[in-house]
Amino acid sequence: MLSSLGNGVAAALAARVTPAAVILESPFTSIRELGKHYFPYLPVSWIARIHYPVDEHITSFNCPVLVIHSHEDDIVPVRYEQRLFETDKSF
C-alpha cells in the first residue's frame, strides 16, 4: 500500500504546482473510499483525518497524466482507476 499512498501526495502536489507530467501507479480515488472498501463495517468517513482526494485534485492538473494500473493488483481495485479516468476526460 505504500506505493499507492504516494499517489495521494503526488496528486496534492501536482494540483498546487505545474509539473511537466504526472504518473500515477495504481491510484485510488480517495483514502476514505479505499478505507470503505476494506472496512465497510467501520465509519471510515469519521475516522480518516487525511483524505487524499485524488479524484478532486486530478481535475486541476495542467499537464499530461499517465495512469498505470494492473487488473491483478490485489491492494487497490482497478475500478478506482476507471473512476479517475471518468473524472478527468483529458487522459
Q: What is the pLDDT of residue 2?
A: 41
The model carries a pTM of: 0.79
Q: What is the pLDDT of residue 12?
A: 93
The span from the CA of 63 to the CA of 14, in Å, is 9
pLDDT tens-digit map of 24-65: 888 999 989 999 999 999 998 888 888 899 999 998 888 898
Contact call for residues 30 and 57 (beta carbons, < 8 A): no
The stretches of the chain forming alpha helices (DSSP H) are 2-16, 31-38, 44-47, 54-57, 78-87
Nearest to 36 by CA among 71, 79, 6: 79
